[in-house]
């Protein structure tokens, strides 16, 4: 069955996955960020307009598939006909082929928030491959921010500083208490952007 600990997720960090569900027996997939707190459940916040949310609430079953790279997220958004699925082991949901890991989930809680719903799924089966890849936005955001700092004299100053502040906000959200957060705070100090 496998355990969530095997994935190497850090508590409270958000990882980008592709959530697969059934919509009236038809497989459906959409990128969704997930995090864990106690390593027995995954949490996510899903916009109320989302088909994925409707499918989860209708069926009570869903799978968080961890893509090996961003290309699979691109395919899920723009080339869904290219995606292939197989049956999940413990639940009535499609499992996305080609993931580096996948977690089969049973809906435990759905809590309304403004414009979105916080979903908690209990992990009932964890699939892992040898080369598990976890995608977190903090590293890319820090890298982009470093590039922006080298270009500040040539960019629209207000817009560039706004982007740096926004990148810091997102880094703190997706990788709290990380070295990315520390490094980004240092970047802001160096270019005199309030954090």
Ligand X SMILES: Cc1cc2nc3c(=O)[nH]c(=O)nc-3n(C[C@H](O)[C@H](O)[C@H](O)COP(=O)(O)O)c2cc1C
Residue 11: CB minimum distance to ligand X, A: 18
C-beta of residue 61 within 8 angstroms of C-beta of residue 92: yes
Distance CA(77)–CA(39), nearest Å, equals 28
- Smaller CB distance to ligand X: residue 10 or 54? 54
Helix, strand and coil content of the chain, in percent to the nearest 5, comes to 35, 35, 30
| 51 near ligand X, judged by CB under 6 A | yes
- Which residues, 2 to 21, sit near ligand X by CB under 6 A? 16
| 91 near ligand X, judged by CB under 6 A | no
* Member of 9, 44, 75, 188 binding ligand X (CB under 6 A): 44
Residue 128: CB minimum distance to ligand X, A: 21
Count Cβ atoms within 10 A of the Cβ of residue 136 and give its class: 0-12 exposed, 13-18 middle, 19 or more buried: buried
User: Count of alpha carbons within 13 Å of 184, Cβ hemisphere only?
Assistant: 30
H/E stretch holding 93: none
| 122 near ligand X, judged by CB under 6 A | no
Residue 45: CB minimum distance to ligand X, A: 6
Binding footprint of ligand X on the chain (CB under 6 A): 16, 30-33, 44-47, 50-52, 73, 77
């Amino acid at each position: 069955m496998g355990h969530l600990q095997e994935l190497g997720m850090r508590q409270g960090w958000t990882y980008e996955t592709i959530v697969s569900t059934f919509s009236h027996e038809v497989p459906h997939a959409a990128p969704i960020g997930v995090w864990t707190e106690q390593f027995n459940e995954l949490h996510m916040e899903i916009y109320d307009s989302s088909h994925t949310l409707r499918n989860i609430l209708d069926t009570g079953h869903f799978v968080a598939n961890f893509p090996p790279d961003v290309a699979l997220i691109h395919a899920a958004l723009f080339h869904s006909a290219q995606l292939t699925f197989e049956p999940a082991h413990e639940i009535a949901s499609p499992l996305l082929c080609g993931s580096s890991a996948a977690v089969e989930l049973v809906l435990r809680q759905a809590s309304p928030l403004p414009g979105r719903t916080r979903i908690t799924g209990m992990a009932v089966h964890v699939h892992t491959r040898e080369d598990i890849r976890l995608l977190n936005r903090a590293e890319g955001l820090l890298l982009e921010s470093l590039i922006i700092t080298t270009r500040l004299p040539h960019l629209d100053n207000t817009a560039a500083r706004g982007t740096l502040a926004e990148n810091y906000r997102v880094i703190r959200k997706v990788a709290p208490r990380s070295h990315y957060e520390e490094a980004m705070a240092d970047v802001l100090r160096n270019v005199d952007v309030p954090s």
